[in-house]
Amino acid sequence: MKTGWKVVAAVVLLGGSVWAGTLMNLKAEGAGVGNQPGTADDPVVTKSYVDQAIKQAINGGAAPSAPITPSKGEGTASSGSASEGVKIVEVKPGKILIASAGTEFIVRAGKAVIYSADSNGVADLTDGKDISNGGAVVNNHLLSFPKEGRGIQVQEGDTHNLTVMVRGGYQIK
């Protein structure tokens, strides 16, 4: 009978401790409304807003001339700026995709070869080597065009188009 009272006392003591603990900790840490994304305590901002705020800080804290607003995409690859996004370009047999200086290509589909008016070639950054005029391009390798006037074309005898990811300026001849 003495062990029965000990068990009851232990259950009452344990239950009382749990009940007291829940009263003392009414709000779980991290579950407050103020910590939710998008509130004043944790605002959601866009990349363009952060970029403009950084420019403002670099320029000595001068207030911007216009309110800071989020912006959508800037430009297209045909304008020739290297800072723009990637464009998917189809190159037909007999055509040459000529790169502007600093442009990057990745051949995704088809058999491509390097076109260069001079003896210099194009840097294959994936393999770390130079591909000279007429050299085969391995698909999914990053190519860098240091000078204007170099490019890629469909391998002679192939009737399929090339699918190329282009970052920077280009033209098709």
Retrieve residue 148's tokens.
């204007």
Phi, then psi, of 145 in degrees rounded to 5: -110, 100
- Supply the pTM of this predicted model: 0.50
Phi, then psi, of 163 in degrees rounded to 5: -110, 120
pLDDT, position 29: 54
pLDDT tens string 97-124 = 998 888 888 888 888 888 888 777 888 8
pLDDT, position 39: 66
Residue ranges in the chain modelled with pLDDT below 70: 1-2, 23-42, 60-84
Contact (CB, 8 A) for 97 and 114: no
